[in-house]
C-alpha cells in the first residue's frame, strides 16, 4: 500500500503509473495523512513538498507555517514518531537545501518536471525496495499459513496465488507428489474471502468408482438399493472451498457432472433430475500429466481446458533449493547441521519425494540423532537409508490397503467373492480383449488350460479353434 499526500492529483497519477499493482490512497491534509500512516502501516509514503491549505479545514490540520514546506515538515513529524517507512518528497522545482533535508530524514527526493521522466525516476529510486517490501509481506503472510518459502520461483507462485485467492472460478494446482499442493490449497483458502467458510479436502482415489459419484454429488431415495437422501461434498462445503485431490482419477460420469458445475455452477444428486446450486469454490490438485490422459481419452479435453483457466504449477524441491533452509529453520529450529550435512541437504540431495521426503529425513534426525544440536553428514545419510527401507515396506502395505478397499466395496454393495471374480474377468476381457498374451495370464497366476476354459465361458464359445492356436 502507498499513501500519497498531495492537494492536487498529479502526484497520485505518477504513483499509479509507476506501481499499477499497488493499492494507493491519497490525502489532501497533513492531519488525516498522519493518522492513516499510523493506522495503515503502508509500504511507501509519497508527499508533495508544497501543500496548499484548505480554508474549509481547521488550521491544525496542517503542521507548518509555510505551505511551500508542508511536505518536509510532515516527514519530520513522521520520523519524530519513530516511523521508518520509506518516503519520497516530490517537488516541481529542485531546491538543494530541501533535498538535503530529505536525505537526512531517510527519504528520496523526486523532481517532477514532466510525467514520463517522473515515473521512470520514481521506479528507479524506490521500485526495488518496494518490491522487496512487498515480497517480505507476502512471505510472512503465507508463513503463518504453513507455506515456508524463500526461493524466487516459490515467491512467484505466492504472487500468483495471491492474485487468484478470491476468484470464484476453479484453480488447478499441479506438481510432483509431495511438493506441497495440499498446503498451498489450504493457504489460498485461509487467506481468501472464504476463510470463515468450510474447507473440505476430498481425495478422489480413496473411493471406488461406483461410490465416487454419490460421495461427491449426493443421492436421493431409490437411486439404488438402500440409497437415501444424502448430501455430497458439493453441498457439504457450502460457500467454502472444495479441494478435489487427485483430479486425474475422476471417472467419466463425474467428469461430465464436474464440467457442468464449472460452466453452470449447478449439479444433480444421483437419481434426481433437478439441478442444485453450487455456492463454493473448487481447487483441483494432481500429480499426473493430464495432457497425457487427454491424449489417451481417459480425461475429457473440454474439462481439462476449463481447469487450465487458472493454473499453478509447483516445481519439485530440487528446482527451488532456496526453500530448504527456511523450511528447516522454521519447523526444526532445534537441529544444527555441520557444514557438510547442510551442504548435502541444501545443494546435493535430489529429494525424490520433495517436501514430504525432507520432512521424513528431518523427523528421523530429530528423534534418533544422539545430539540434535550437532547433526553430522552421517546422521543425514542414515535417515535417507531409513527412508528407502520404508518406501519398500510401503509398497507392500499399499497392496494390502487396496485389498481392504475391495472387501469394503463388496460388503457395501452386497457382492460375493464369486461376483468379484466375475467382475475381474469381464473387466479384463473388456480391457485386453479375448487374445490375452501369455504374460497377462501368467502374472495372474492362472494356468493356461484354466485361462482358455474361462475365456470360452466368458465369450460364450465365440473363440474359434484358430484363435485358440494363435494364443
Nearest by Cα to 334 from 310, 311, 366, 361: 366
Q: In whole angstroms, give the CA distance from residue 88 to residue 90.
A: 6
Look at residue 228 in the predicted model and tell me its pLDDT. Answer: 75
Compute the average pLDDT of residues 180-203.
96
Cell of 104: 537526512
pLDDT band at 124 (very low <50, low <70, confident <90, very high): confident
Compute the average pLDDT of residues 443-458.
64
Element (H, E) at 463: none
By CB atoms closer than 10 A (0-12, 13-18, 19+), residue 79 is: middle
For the ranges 34-43, 126-135, 403-412, which has the lowest average pLDDT? Answer: 403-412
Q: Which residue has the higher pLDDT, 114 or 150?
A: 150
Examine the pLDDT at 413 and tell me if it is beyond 70.
no
pLDDT band at 466 (very low <50, low <70, confident <90, very high): very low
Q: In whole angstroms, give the CA distance from residue 175 to residue 337.
A: 29
Look at residue 132 in the predicted model and tell me its pLDDT. Answer: 83
Mean pLDDT of the chain: 84
pTM of the model: 0.69
- How crowded is the C-beta side of 423, counted as CA atoms within 13 Å? 10
Q: In whole angstroms, give the CA distance from residue 248 to residue 293.
A: 8
What is the percentage of the chain residues whose pLDDT exceeds 70? 82
Examine the pLDDT at 301 and tell me if it is beyond 90.
yes
Helix, coil or strand: residue 231 = coil
Residue range 415-429, pLDDT digits in tens: 676 676 676 666 666
For the ranges 6-20, 87-101, 301-315, which has the lowest average pLDDT? Answer: 87-101
Tell me how far CA of residue 88 lies from CA of 5, 31, 128, 208, 294, in angstroms: 10, 18, 14, 62, 54
Helix, coil or strand: residue 418 = helix
Count the helix, strand and coil residues of the chain and give each as a percent rounded to the nearest 5: 55, 10, 35
What is the percentage of the chain residues whose pLDDT exceeds 90? 50
Look at residue 398 in the predicted model and tell me its pLDDT. Answer: 46
Query: CA gyration radius for the chain?
Result: 32
Examine the pLDDT at 209 and tell me if it is beyond 90.
no
Look at residue 220 in the predicted model and tell me its pLDDT. Answer: 84
Compute the average pLDDT of residues 230-247.
94
Residue range 160-180, pLDDT digits in tens: 999 999 999 999 999 999 999
| In 287-376, alpha helices (H) | 290-295, 301-307, 324-331, 339-343, 354-368
Look at residue 321 in the predicted model and tell me its pLDDT. Answer: 94
Examine the pLDDT at 192 and tell me if it is beyond 70.
yes
Q: In whole angstroms, give the CA distance from residue 14 to residue 19.
A: 9
Examine the pLDDT at 467 and tell me if it is beyond 50.
no
Nearest by Cα to 309 from 157, 156, 164: 164
The C-alpha torsion from 13 through 18 and 21 to 22, rounded to 10°, is -70
Compute the average pLDDT of residues 263-269.
91
The C-alpha cell 545443494 sits at 347
Compute the average pLDDT of residues 219-241.
84
Amino acid at each position: 500500500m502507498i499513501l500519497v499526500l498531495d492537494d492536487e492529483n498529479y502526484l497520485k497519477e505518477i504513483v499509479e503509473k509507476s506501481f499499477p499493482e499497488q493499492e494507493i490512497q491519497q490525502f489532501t491534509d497533513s492531519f488525516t495523512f498522519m493518522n492513516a500512516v499510523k493506522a495503515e502501516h503502508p509500504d511507501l509514503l509519497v508527499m508533495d513538498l508544497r501543500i496548499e491549505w484548505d480554508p474549509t479545514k481547521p488550521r491544525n490540520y496542517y503542521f507548518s507555517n509555510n505551505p511551500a514546506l508542508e511536505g518536509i515538515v510532515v516527514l519530520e513529524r513522521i520520523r519524530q514518531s519513530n516511523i521508518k517507512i520509506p518516503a519520497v518528497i516530490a517537488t516541481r522545482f529542485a531546491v538543494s537545501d530541501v533535498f538535503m533535508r530529505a536525505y537526512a530524514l531517510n527519504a528520496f527526493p523526486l523532481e517532477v518536471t514532466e510525467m514520463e521522466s517522473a515515473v521512470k525516476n520514481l521506479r528507479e529510486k524506490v521500485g526495488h525496495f518496494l518490491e522487496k517490501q512487498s515480497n517480505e509481506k507476502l512471505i510472512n503472510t503465507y508463513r503463518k499459513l504453513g507455506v515456508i518459502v524463500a526461493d524466487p520461483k516459490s515467491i512467484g507462485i505466492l504472487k500468483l496465488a495471491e492474485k487468484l485467492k478470491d476468484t470464484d472460478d476453479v484453480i488447478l494446482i499441479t506438481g510432483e507428489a509431495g511438493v506441497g499442493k495440499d498446503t498451498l490449497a489450504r493457504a489460498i483458502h485461509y487467506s481468501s474471502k472464504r476463510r470463515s467458510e468450510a474447507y473440505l479436502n476430498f481425495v478422489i482415489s480413496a473411493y471406488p468408482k461406483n461410490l465416487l459419484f454419490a460421495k461427491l454429488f449426493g443421492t436421493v431415495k431409490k437411486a439404488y438399493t438402500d440409497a437415501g437422501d444424502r448430501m455430497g461434498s458439493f453441498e457439504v462445503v457450502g460457500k467454502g472451498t472444495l479441494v478435489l485431490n487427485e483430479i486425474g482419477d475422476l471417472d467419466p460420469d463425474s467428469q461430465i457432472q464436474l464440467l457442468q458445475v464449472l460452466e453452470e455452477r449447478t449439479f444433480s444428486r444421483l437419481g434426481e433430475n433437478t439441478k442444485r446450486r453450487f455456492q463454493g469454490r473448487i481447487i483441483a490438485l494432481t500429480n499426473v500429466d493430464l495432457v497425457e490422459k487427454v491424449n489417451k481419452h481417459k480425461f475429457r479435453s473440454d474439462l481439462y481446458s476449463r481447469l487450465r483457466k487458472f493454473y499453478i504449477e509447483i516445481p519439485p524441491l530440487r528446482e527451488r533449493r532456496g526453500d530448504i533452509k527456511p523450511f528447516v529453520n522454521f519447523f526444526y529450529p532445534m537441529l544444527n547441521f555441520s557444514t557438510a550435512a547442510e551442504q548435502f541437504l541444501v545443494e546435493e540431495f535430489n529429494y525424490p519425494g520433495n517436501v514430504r521426503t525432507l520432512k521424513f529425513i528431518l523427523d528421523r534426525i530429530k528423534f534418533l540423532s544422539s545430539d540434535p544440536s550437532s547433526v553430522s553428514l552421517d546422521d543425514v545419510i542414515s535417515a535417507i537409508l531409513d527412508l528407502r527401507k520404508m518406501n519398500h515396506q510401503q509398497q507392500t502395505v499399499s497392496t494390502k490397503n487396496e485389498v481392504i478397499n475391495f472387501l469394503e466395496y463388496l460388503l457395501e454393495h452386497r457382492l460375493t467373492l464369486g461376483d468379484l471374480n466375475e467382475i475381474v474377468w469381464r473387466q479384463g476381457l473388456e480391457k485386453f480383449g479375448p487374445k490375452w498374451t501369455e504374460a497377462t495370464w501368467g502374472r495372474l497366476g492362472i494356468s493356461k488350460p484354466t485361462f482358455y476354459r474361462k475365456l470360452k465361458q466368458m465369450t460364450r464359445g465365440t473363440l474359434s479353434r484358430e484363435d485358440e492356436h494363435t494364443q
